[in-house]
Amino acid sequence: MLSLIEQPEDYSQMLKRVFVATLTAGIVSTLILGYFSPPVQSLLFHSSTKLNLGFADLPWLIVVIPLFLAVLSRAVKLHDRISDLLGIRRCFDRRHILMPLARGVDIKLDDHADMILKTNRHALMRKTFYTYAPNARDAAINRQYVAAALDQWGWFWSCLEPSVVFLLASVFAGALVGFPLALAFVILSAILIFAAFGLWFSCVRAGKKQVDDILDDKLRRTSIAGHFNAVLGKRA
């Protein structure tokens, strides 16, 4: 459990935190729906088989249903789907990583160049950013900066992904119980979204530290400038 709270060293460790957060939101939603809906309660408690979670013994369906949802969320990369829908990583990579890196190596950015950054975002991120900060263990820059960034993103997605679970629960609550419980789930979701919004600024600050550290090396600046010029030259 402590490993989920500690700063992750790579993307996989970060995803474990998100998985547990989504699973927890699913269990909480299932318990609440079971408490307020007699049909759901009957379904959940019809079997005497229980699963031990360490802190409590719960009927197996209360665990299995949220576990299936959490595994499905991981399989479809729900946080990525949310990011694609809202343009989260697209905006962050361009505005807070690529543009500062480009300015740091004296690349002039106009509307045309900005469009090129959008089109070549993934390739440029690999060559100019992830080359130096792939994870905390193998980073060419200050490892603590990378770990801190993964930590902030881990908490960010641990708020946003479960917020979708609570929104889904609100639909079931509205159909099975009524508007008040559905509204309660929506409020829970809104609280998590608000928390994620606050964490966004921490992610921006963590990104800036990484960018500044990457640029604090002449050889890296030369290499980064070459990658930007190559891409901009192709589309010029």
Residue with tokens 């007699």: 38
The amino acid present at 23, given as its one-letter code, is L
> Alpha-carbon distance 230 to 236, whole Å?
10
pLDDT tens-digit profile of 13-55? 999 999 999 999 999 999 999 889 888 888 877 766 666 665 5
- The predicted model gives 173-179 an average pLDDT of 93
Q: For position 171, what pLDDT does the model report?
A: 96
Question: Six-digit token pair at 164?
Answer: 């979708």
The answer to whether residue 183 scores a pLDDT higher than 60 is yes
Q: For position 4, what pLDDT does the model report?
A: 66
Residue with tokens 């079931």: 172
Q: For position 51, what pLDDT does the model report?
A: 65
Share of the chain above pLDDT 70, in %: 92
Q: For position 160, what pLDDT does the model report?
A: 96
The answer to whether residue 236 scores a pLDDT higher than 50 is no
Sign of the dihedral defined by the CA atoms of residues 151, 155, 160, 164, in that order: positive
Of the candidates 91, 153, 156, 154, which has an alpha carbon nearest to the alpha carbon of residue 118? 91
Q: For position 108, what pLDDT does the model report?
A: 87
The pTM score is 0.90
- The predicted model gives 181-187 an average pLDDT of 97
Question: Six-digit token pair at 38?
Answer: 């007699």
The answer to whether residue 146 scores a pLDDT higher than 80 is yes
Q: For position 68, what pLDDT does the model report?
A: 92
- The predicted model gives 3-9 an average pLDDT of 79
Q: For position 112, what pLDDT does the model report?
A: 84
- The predicted model gives 105-122 an average pLDDT of 88
SS (HEC) of the chain: CHHHHCCCCCHHHHHHHHHHHHHHHHHHHHHHHHHHCHHHHHHHCCCCCEEECCCCEEEHHHHHHHHHHHHHHHHCCHHHHHHHHHCHHHHHHHHHHHHHHHHHCCCCCCHHHHHHHHHCHHHHHHHHHHCCCCCCCCCCCCHHHHHHHHHHHHHHHHHHHHHHHHHHHHHHHHHHCCHHHHHHHHHHHHHHHHHHHHHHHHHHHHHHHHHHHHHCCHHHHHHHHHHHHHHHHHHC
- The predicted model gives 117-141 an average pLDDT of 94
Share of the chain above pLDDT 90, in %: 75
139 — pLDDT class (breaks 50, 70, 90): very high
The answer to whether residue 230 scores a pLDDT higher than 70 is yes
The answer to whether residue 224 scores a pLDDT higher than 90 is yes
Q: For position 235, what pLDDT does the model report?
A: 45
The answer to whether residue 234 scores a pLDDT higher than 60 is no
pLDDT tens-digit profile of 159-172? 999 999 999 999 99
> Alpha-carbon distance 44 to 63, whole Å?
10
